Amino acid sequence: MLNLLNATERQEIVDYCQDRYAVDPVLWEDLVLKKSSEAVWAFPVELNKFLLAHALEEAETSGLRILSGKSFPYKITDSFLALFRSAISKGIIELKGDQVGGLLFDKSIELEGEHPSIEGYVILKYRGYFLGVGLKRGSKIESQIPKKLTNQLSSKLEFRDK
Amino acid sequence: MKSMTWPLFDERYRDLIPDYVQFLESLEGDLPVGIRVNELKADSQVVKELAEINDKKLVKPFKELSFFQAQGDGERKFWGGRLEHHLGLYYLQALSSLFPVLALGARPGESILDLCSAPGGKSAFVAQEMKQQGPLICNEPDLNRRRVLKANLERMGVQNAATFAGTGEQLAFKEASFDKVLLDGPCSSEGTLRLINQRMKKKKKGNFLTYNADFRKQMRATQWELLKKACFLLKPGGTLVYSTCTYDPNENEAQVNRLLEHNESMKIAAIELPCAIHDRLTSGVVAYQGENYHPSLKNTYRVYPHRIDSIGFYFAKLTKRD
């Protein structure tokens, strides 16, 4: 069951994502936000209107599960990354090739040397594109990348830096 | 290597398909892997860099399209196994399958229905062409195929799509709901024989091709119901693209011809593609097995693998009169 977020709940999410990932509040204007017991969903306004206009509620899926969790701090999802791809400029950890292999197959890595002080859910980037989400605690990053992805990959894959 | 024989094709298509011997030869050649860059998430550089790092040779058939082909043993496994593929930065699909989407000419803000959507490669391409602005409705009745569809749409980062689970004929939208409808219908899939043949050769199995009249009849019935539904759902002035991956005119031109006779509001529209391909496409047939079709059917297109290095396809573009 999805419930429309009230204005306060919505604003908290917009502010959280601006503060943490630098997502411009303007980008939320074309989205209807709803909440289930364990996630926040975003629906493009046009799609939402179209389905309502046709009185169709039997869509099997529509909308994007952008945040998971029952409350703050929410975990951002791959759909969040796809939705705000070009707008995200904060909360990012750039990985090197050997770190990618470590995260995908060993599930965690230790950052060496200087690293961003940000804690909690961070966005993992490799060679310029989003790899997924990690949970950073101090110098350790635990992979939050779905198992269905890593299961599909061969552990023999090499990840090189450009 | 001894050539395979295709008695079923000889009987039905020898006089239909131009340069028929070359056509048969092409069925025995390996099918290149098609790599469409998903511009919702990446640009061509991702694929180019992967190829460079791994000493892979790529062909870019058209400068206008972010699409590459790789030929050779192991290429499908290589490109399908990359992290970048699983992250949805590119999608593996045949070159021919891009043409119906390009013919549709999806634009931002339009309402678009993909009536037979799974596995989702064309839907994701439509979403890209729409710049994800406007509703995209993706329908697929089969549960397993729908799972694949949803996974692919998610992987490709498609944001403006809703998926529906009914049969296309039962889809409960009101009349004239959509600006554009893509109907890549179920078919006898003769155009994919090249790929299947490649797999069969690897398994050292022979030519499996048979003609199941009951199956074909059922296919044609389904295609017809879907075509009628597509017209019903299309707005006046809207565009319908009908496509299949088969050579059989009974599933292609004959169906479109029947639609023109049945529904006077529909007419064939000229197809303009944003890449230099027209001279390698073959016009639709206007007569087959003693039956004559409307002359405008010559403005529909057939894709043959000896002319375009991909799978066989047919596509027609129609508009609904205002």
ipTM of the complex: 0.89
Instruction: Name the token pair of A138.
Output: 């101090």
Residue B245 appears among annotated catalytic residues:
yes
Tens digit of pLDDT for each residue in A107-121?
899 998 888 888 999
pLDDT, position B2: 46
Name the nearest CA neighbour of B233 among B222, B245, B225. Answer: B225
Q: Are B318 and B267 in contact (CB under 8 A)?
A: yes
Using CA atoms, how far residue A18 sits from A23, A42, A79, A161, B297, in Å, is: 4, 16, 17, 30, 55
Chain A positions touching chain B (beta carbons under 8 Å): 44, 46-47, 50-51, 54, 56, 58-64, 78-79, 81-83, 85, 100, 104, 127, 129-131, 149, 152-154, 157, 159-160, 162
> E strands, chain B, where?
33-37, 67-70, 90-92, 112-114, 136-139, 161-164, 178-184, 234-244, 266-268, 282-283, 287-288, 291-292, 301-303, 313-320
| Residue A126 confidence (pLDDT) | 92
User: Are residues A100 and B41, on separate chains, in Cβ contact within 8 Å?
Assistant: no
Q: Which two tokens stand for residue B267?
A: 């007419």
Q: How distant is the Cα of A114 from the closest Cα of chain B, in angstroms?
A: 27
**What is the rounded average pLDDT of the residues B194-200?**
75
What pLDDT, on a 0 to 100 scale, did the predictor assign at position A108? 92
| Every domain of chain A and the residues it spans | 3-84, 92-150
DSSP A69-136: SSSSSPEE-HHHHHHTGGG--SSEEEE-HHHHHIIIIISEEE--SS-----EEEEEEETTEEEEEEEE
Nearest CA in chain B to A148: B86
For the residues of B271-308, what is the DSSP string, one character each?
A: ---SSS-GGGSEEPPSEETTEE--GGGGGSEEE-TTTS
Nearest Cα of chain B lies from the Cα of A58 at a distance, in angstroms, of 7
Mean pLDDT of A128-145: 94
Across B256-281, average pLDDT? 96
Give the Cα separation of B138 and B147 in Å (integer).
12
CA atoms within 13 A on the CB side of A59: 23
Cβ density class B7-31: b for 16+ within 10 Å, e for less: eebeebbeebbeebeebbebbeebb
- Residue pair B177/B233 in contact (Cβ under 8 Å)? The answer is yes
State the CATH class of domain A92-150.
mainly beta
Confidence band of B1 (pLDDT split at 50, 70, 90): very low
- Any idea which of A8-17, A43-52, B4-13, B228-237 has the lowest mean pLDDT? B4-13
B150 phi, psi to nearest 5 deg: -65, -40
Token digits of residue B184: 């890549």
What's the rounded Cα separation, in Å, for the pair B186 and B188? Answer: 7
Contact at CB, B49 and A58, closer than 8 angstroms: no
Q: Say yes or no to pLDDT of B68 above 60.
A: yes
Tell if the CB–CB gap between A157 and B84 is shorter than 8 Å.
no
Taking alpha carbons only, the member of B256, B267, B268, B248 closest to residue B226 is B256
For chain A, give the number of residues: 162
Phi and psi torsions of B41, nearest 5°: -130, -20
3-state secondary structure of B227: helix
- Per the listing, tokens 């690293």 go with A115
Alpha carbon A91 to its chain centroid, in Å, reads 11
